[in-house]
Amino acid sequence: MASISPYKNWKKYEKYLISGQWHVHTNYVDGENTVDEYCKRTVKLRIPLIAFTEHVRKKLTYRYHDLVGEILTAREDYPELIILTGCEAKVLEDGSLDVSEDVLRQSEIVLMAFHSFPADKDKYVEALKTALSNPKVDIWAHPGLFLRNKNFSLRDEEVEDILEKASRENVLIEFNEKYQLPVRSWVEIGKKKGIKFVRGSDVHKIRDLK
Ligand SMILES: [Zn+2]
Ligand SMILES: [Zn+2]
């Protein structure tokens, strides 16, 4: 019997997984543009959905609530556009996410990603599986970037195992345009496992939008 897979927020916007922009950084951290500038440009390009997935930490250097405020204002200014709050949270060594409960409560879309992490493949796989089973996680951002940077590779069986888990947990795999990830073999395996993909360009300025 098929197990019941967890509900995820992205399901409400499933028809925009490829046409939307699901990975965007603003001037709150290392992006160049404001929420308003992004929305204006997104409407112009006829992109139907934009998710503001700002970098977060448990201790923030900015007020997440302010970012949410700008997003709420933009929803009034651009009623034709779907504008989502979100965050990109780093996976920690134990597989938990470097994000506060407060931010999670305000985020409609949660990206998890590996940034700094020990150069240990087994630890990575274990943390990845834990993160994939986190009910808050919607998207695995730039999948495989850590492996590429550390010169690690996974056997096909390991990839199958991981992507099967992602599929079961309803975690989307990002087509990351900035890093050209995931690699083709992962896409092929993912399709067999019933994975759903989502477009995320890791946009840092409006010129990156397309
Ligand atoms: Zn990232
Ligand atoms: Zn990012």
Model pLDDT for residues 115-169, shown as the tens digit of each residue: 999 999 999 999 999 999 999 999 999 999 999 999 999 999 999 999 999 999 9
* Ligand with an atom nearest the CA of residue 140: 1
Mean pLDDT over the full length of the chain: 96
Which of 50, 62, 37, 48 is CA-nearest to residue 206?
Answer: 37
Q: What is the pLDDT, as a whole number, of residue 1?
A: 44
Q: What is the pLDDT, as a whole number, of residue 107?
A: 97
Q: Is the pTM of this model over 0.85?
A: yes
* Helix, strand or coil, per DSSP, at residue 92: coil
Which of 142, 67, 53 is CA-nearest to residue 99?
Answer: 53
State in Å: Cα 58 to ligand 1 middle.
Answer: 16
State in Å: Cα 124 to ligand 1 middle.
Answer: 16
CATH number, span 16-208: 3.20.20.140
State in Å: Cα 151 to ligand 2 middle.
Answer: 21
Q: Could you tell me the maximum CA-CA distance found in the chain, to the nearest angstrom? A: 49
Q: Cα dihedral sign for 105, 110, 116, 118?
A: positive
Q: Cα dihedral sign for 99, 7, 23, 103?
A: negative
